[in-house]
Structure 1
Amino acid sequence: MVRGILNIPDNAWVRRVTLWRQVKDILFIGIGVVMASIGLKGFLLPNGFFDGGAMGVSLLMEILTPLDLSVLIVLVNIPFIYLGYKQLNLRFAIKSTFAIFALALLVHYIELPTITADKLLIAVFGGFFLGSGIGFSIRGGAVIDGTEVLAIQVSRKSSLTVGDFITVFNVCLFLVAAILVGLETAMYSMLTYFAASRTVDFLINGVEEYLGVMIVSNYSDAIKEKITYDLGRGVTAFKADGGFGEKAKNPDRNVLFCVVTRLEVTRVLTEIDKIDPKAFVIQYPIKDTKGGMIKKRPLH
């Protein structure tokens, strides 16, 4: 539509969109690398704290080996980059290589003053900056911590989910840390990991969590009209066939689907109850959305 309004040829439009995407990716990765380096040099490294995942392995190996952390960041992440190349594509591997080498250079060459000596602030804000770095890098299509790439590979070959593997991996990592550097430092480092993981979730998923709402009702037309015109939300209707009991006698009906934020779902459910208290409603989380009417205006 925009292409037609601006009278831009198809090839030129594709080039513009591709170029803008590449510029945003580089910008996100650059911000991510800087944020992660601030978290490491300004908070974690001066105080002997570490994180979970591949970064935690690098920080732990720095204690056990004479190698510099910048070298370890590259060495630890090389297998993850290779797995990413196999699972995803060459572009992802190139971006991740660039991001990891850039982070290693900043960690090696920049010097930052110690911002605080308070252990709680170090754990929370160190995790925040490191998580911001990881999150922005992921938004740019790269990784500076490749644990999730390994988790995807393991989940495909075992009964473990991605989340299960990451949890097991980090539990083992923090147990080793508790033995090597002490229980208190390991506990503060766990707090760093939690702060980092929540920051990553925030940057990737956004402020508001999206929910998909599926509605099965004999009054689907009235519910569709209410959600569309009164609440201002887009609704998709699927042709459906009942398969059990009385509902099987009414084969020609619609199943409705809409996407709202968690803050908005109560209003939607209330309007459904007004029309059909016996409606069958399914809710499930959605990571992100693009297009449609989801962000036009809030219901609350």
Structure 2
Amino acid sequence: MKELVSEIEKKIILRRNIKDVFFIIIGVCMASIGLKGFLLPNHFLDGGAMGLSLLFQILTPINLSLLILLVNAPFVLMGYKQISPQFAIKSTLAIVALASLVHIIEIPPFTADKLLIAVFGGFFLGSGIGFSIRGGAVIDGTEVLALSVSRKSSLTVGDFIALFNIVLFAFAALVVSLETAMYSMLTYLAASKTVDFIINGIEEYIGVMIISDQAESVKSMIADDLGRGVTAFLSDGGYGKKGNTLPDRKILFCAITRLEVSKVLLEVEKIDPSAFVIQYPIKDTKGGMIKKRPLH
């Protein structure tokens, strides 16, 4: 039995590793196209560690490939200490592959239109970063640094990344040009939105928690009528002076797409108009009755 479980685990790990390598290869190729075909020929920047590398490339004679390695090296070391050795190894290989590809390949500029350069350069670079993250690696180590800072200060990861990029673009405006900094902000926005799209997918899932005296009826409606999975938690409620005397009740939880939210809320209201419903976004899902998303 143990040998059978071991074989199953090996197959799962092998499939996961193959998928990770596939995503990282796509990510490196997409980022290379964004850099060589759009950003580099026009001296545009991005945010984060990649933006820092591009800025140093403009201000110094150092080759971008070498800068990508040098700028990201401290972040990879942080990832080794704070996340895992496997993450650090994958990230190192991905960054080395990106630096090598940027050094070797020659891609003629796709367009001279600055707006198209900013938007599509950000799209390709963001795709590269997003696919690499899906593969369990990074080619832009800013989030690793942000994670480290957030653990030692009151800043969140998002706060630190925003602050980092404000300083970066302000410095670019001073030493390069205001126009370059403004177009680089567009590049960063396009890249960040693309990263979100690649990581989170098209469908955004919503977690819905329902507290109702008609919990069994609501549960049957979700499971039988809507065909969605639902989980019931026993809870000890409390409200006002009668808080300690209220009977135990069930809290229902289900994960649905944002397109199904209005339907669920309508059906819940039909059953119990006074039901208390909480909604919150879910970044990712796997298994259960949720339909498996492509490229996950």
Report the TM-score, using the length of structure 1 for normalisation: 0.94
Choose the corresponding residue for 1:184, options 166, 176, 179: 179
Alignment of 1:116-265 (within 5 A): 116-245=111-240, 246=242, 248-265=244-261
* Superposed CA offset, 1:181-226 (max 9, x none): 1111111110000000000000100101111111111111110010
* Counterparts of 2:259 and 2:162, CA distance in 1: 29
Amino acid at match of 1:289: T
* Counterparts of 1:242 and 1:22, CA distance in 2: 45
Amino acid at match of 1:38: I
Q: What RMSD over aligned residues (CA atoms) do the two structures have, in Å?
A: 1.5
Amino acid at match of 1:252: D
Q: Which runs of 5+ in 1 are unaligned?
A: none
Corresponding position of 2:263: 267
Amino acid at match of 1:250: L
**SS state at 1:269 partner:** helix
* Counterparts of 2:171 and 2:58, CA distance in 1: 12
Corresponding position of 2:276: 280
Choose the corresponding residue for 1:93, options 88, 97, 102: 88
**SS state at 1:234 partner:** coil
Q: Quote the offset at 1:247 in angstroms.
A: 5.9
Q: 224-233 or 250-259: which moved more?
A: 250-259
Corresponding position of 1:65: 60
- Kept in 1, the 8 Å contact 2:286–2:292? The answer is no
Q: How many residues align?
A: 291
- Kept in 2, the 8 Å contact 1:31–1:136? The answer is yes
**SS state at 1:289 partner:** coil
Corresponding position of 1:115: 110
**SS state at 2:259 partner:** coil
* Counterparts of 1:229 and 1:187, CA distance in 2: 53
* Counterparts of 1:37 and 1:50, CA distance in 2: 14
* Counterparts of 2:213 and 2:73, CA distance in 1: 56
Report the TM-score, using the length of structure 2 for normalisation: 0.96
